[in-house]
Amino acid sequence: MFTGIVSEMGEVVAVKPHAANLQRIKIACAIPRSPIADGASISCSGVCMTVVGSGQEDGHAWFAVDAAAETLAVTTVGRWKHGMRINIERSLQVGDELGGHMVSGHIDGLATVIGRENMTEMVRLALRAPAPLARFIAPKGSVALDGVSLTVNAIEDDTFSVLIIPHTMKVTTLGNLLTGEDVNLEIDQITRYAARLMESR
């Protein structure tokens, strides 16, 4: 589990085929090598991925993850290339501060940026969600975009908007998003389960 509070931006330094239908991705980060254990879960731009190796190179730490065909097909991971920046969050531990909201790292689909408004020190993004997911998004509710916990400002049909504050622009990749780009979307789990319960009545 995660909270959508990004700890740092990592950099993709290698993407290579590995075994059948797998891509091995190497990511440079500031996390010391010793705390990164094989089998650990790390949110990489919202996608929960399992560490399969780590090390130190040229004074910088790195970890590696494997992406299977399903992940490559339904998230932005299949588009990652050398030099891309991604949002990183370590998994939640007992006793950690519960900022943001509960995020599983299981991506529901891709949201597309359809508008960007540059405001004073902030950015307002308008996004289109896949139609089946739009009903789970509500004003003042939570969504995770590329692993970042955000509050929904407004929604109309299958489009919604979020405000990117200065701190979020500084410590995540969201401030650099442009119209036409896709982001990994995870809807709020509580909303999903509430809707499911209503449907079963």
**54 pairs with which residues across the strands?**
63
Question: Tell me: the pLDDT tens digits for 70-122?
Answer: 999 999 999 999 999 999 999 977 767 777 888 999 999 999 999 999 998 89
Query: Which distant-in-sequence residues (6+ apart) come within 8 Å of 193 by Cβ?
Result: none
CA–CA gap between residue 69 and residue 102 (Å, rounded): 26
- Domains defined along the chain, listed by start: 8-90 (2.40.30.20), 109-199 (2.40.30.20)
Residue 165 pLDDT: 95
Q: How confident is the model at residue 58 (pLDDT cuts 50, 70, 90)?
A: confident
Helix (H, G, I), strand (E, B) or coil at 106: coil
Given a cut of 90, is residue 59 above it in pLDDT? Answer: no
Residue 201 pLDDT: 64
CA–CA gap between residue 27 and residue 83 (Å, rounded): 10
- In this prediction, residues 41-66 reach a mean pLDDT of 94
What is the DSSP code string of 118-147?
Answer: E-SS-EEEEEE--HHHHTT--TT-EEEETT
CA–CA gap between residue 144 and residue 101 (Å, rounded): 9
Question: Tell me: the pLDDT tens digits for 183-194?
Answer: 999 998 777 767
- Residue 80: CA count within 13 A, CB half-sphere: 33
